[in-house]
Chain A
């Protein structure tokens, strides 16, 4: 009989099957043994951004590793959209990076769903935040818990190209202009120079619209973050304003705008319009692509209206709630925001530093884009800047995309302003989920 022979074979079969299964499962699992034999640990640090930021942060983290022999750092870096795809998947698999760069666009989604660790026990102790500007102190707070340490201070701005303005035979817009004056000026440029336009089309940009809303005496979102706080007529006026800008050559037609959604293809970079809406630190990205020297100035105002802009942090350092080393993660965050060498190496790649001390360390040349960004932020007074709004509620990202889509529908004539406004309010009710 062949029974004695069969035994080992059955064994082999089982072993092979087990081995194959293990292989597959191992490939899915992705091992992260976080602690070495000598008590050293591995911290994973993740962020989104471009090449200059990657270089600056890697240099800083290398130095941190040298100064802290017990800590090994692994990095996970990508462009914004890719980074958040990855972060969502990693977080779902409970393997999110220990320290992550977090954007206000997703802040409430992550913090409000328990994906981030509350840092209250570290703030003021391990993580020194004394020097932070008053306006950004509470930017990373959600439901009375501290989830994000501000990386930068941000405000809205108008980015202009004075050389292009001169070519087009137009004066620079004055800082105290109203939206009406801005429109007259922009339409004048477009009508006198066929193929050029005075301004980019901001109609589809919810973040520019927020300035308009606040000038009209309201916030974008209700206090509990489950609905819109402003009147529908405010939105209709905004879209009417931009419809008239497009109709009278103040802003480009919608097919040009639809193509201009990156720094490279923006109407300012393409030399089609001398003014566009930005967040202040973006002057560095635009300047790198432009031979002309670019300038910053505040957004237009509403006659007799409130200050529309605000100073706030929109990017943070946060710690994943699944991190096994929150203490070490907090120490690293403190290093990133407070250590003079780190501050210097990072420079303005994360935006304008949110503390006077850090800005003084950098002492940026006022002729550089970085210097202009710092000077701009410091120049904004109470007439421009109101109290910062609360965090963006869950569902913000979806609403942001919807706002652009509806504005395109209007511009391409697929719907009218009344119907689009109505749809925005209806969808906001469904999409916004508070904090």
Chain B
């Protein structure tokens, strides 16, 4: 990569200048000054709260009284809480179904938009729009309306003579509507895919065309392999994001993860334990379990990536 090469060249030049001068020291101090706001922020909103959360996870903390040390009790409870296991199951299904669907859709549309059609900017914006709105409360409210008993979806189905149902109020379909909402917000990965597609040198395609490769063949043998680093990047990001899904389920279920806990996502249950049931210690333990799970899944992702991600350099 040329940018990296440039960087290392600069670095070599700067270190070859001999012993550290007073000027260099002053620069170093200046750099700390400029970093100070960021470091203060990192400490105040990330490091300190994380340490506090780790400590709280070993306590019985009800928010209103001082926390009391209870050792591993909260972590033991994680293993025998049926609602937690249900929440994990709901979240796993959500990750496993909606992430691949979203990636496939965003890749498909990115390839389509990359054909050099007219009005590309317009389409790109239009397809990106749901991503900007999708995580918002307004869209979740809209979703609730659309998939409700008298909602738009049932009215359309009604025209076709199909009797609908309360999509968000039936435990067998409620999770599906939230997955759909997530898949619909494909804009962010799509933009990243588009950027990736632009970086594939035209000469590969030209050479393949000369050899008589079909469109499909070119996609499979050139686009896909060269895009694997981007797919991998999107996959990692989306999996991490999906594990933390909260807003959609919160709004669509009215905050209770219902009906019948069918939309009780992990982070929603965590929030309920912490703020509704005054069990902040247990909620903190849940947060650390989530962190561990996300770390494990990301590690697996990286381990498996060796077998399918192709780096062109």
A interface, CB within 8 angstroms of B: 1-2, 6, 9-10, 12-13, 16-17, 20-21, 23-25, 28, 81, 84-85, 88-89, 91-92, 109-110, 113-115, 254-259, 261-262, 265, 394-395, 397-398, 401, 404-405, 408-409, 412, 414, 431
Contact = CB atoms under 8 A, between A and B. Distances in A.
Contacts of B258: 258, 404-405, 408
A13 B33 contact: yes
A262 B144 CA distance: 13
Interface string B24-40: 01100110110011011
A398 B257 CA distance: 13
Nearest to A265: B148
A408 B260 contact: yes
A240 B260 CA distance: 18
A9 B272 CA distance: 50
A430 to B, nearest CB: 10
Contacts of A259: 148-149, 166, 168-169
B170 A255 contact: yes
A113 B148 CA distance: 41
B244 interface: no
B276 A114 contact: no
Nearest to B274: A88
Given A20-B37, A397-B276, A408-B260, A92 B166 contact: no
B44 A24 contact: yes
Contacts of A254: 169-170, 259
A24 B41 contact: yes
B229 interface: no
Contact of A13 (B22, B23, B32, B65): B32
A353 to B, nearest CB: 30
Contacts of B272: 401
Chain A contact residues: helix, strand, loop or mixed:
helix
Given A113-B65, A114-B65, A115-B64, A20 B40 contact: yes
A28 B44 contact: yes
Contacts of A10: 29
Contact of B277 (A2, A13, A110, A395): A395
Nearest to B172: A412
A109 B279 CA distance: 11
Contact of A255 (B32, B169, B261): B169
A408 B262 CA distance: 10
Contacts of A9: 26, 29-30
Interface in B55-95: 62-65
Nearest to B151: A259
B275 A414 contact: no
A258 B255 contact: no
Contacts of B23: 2
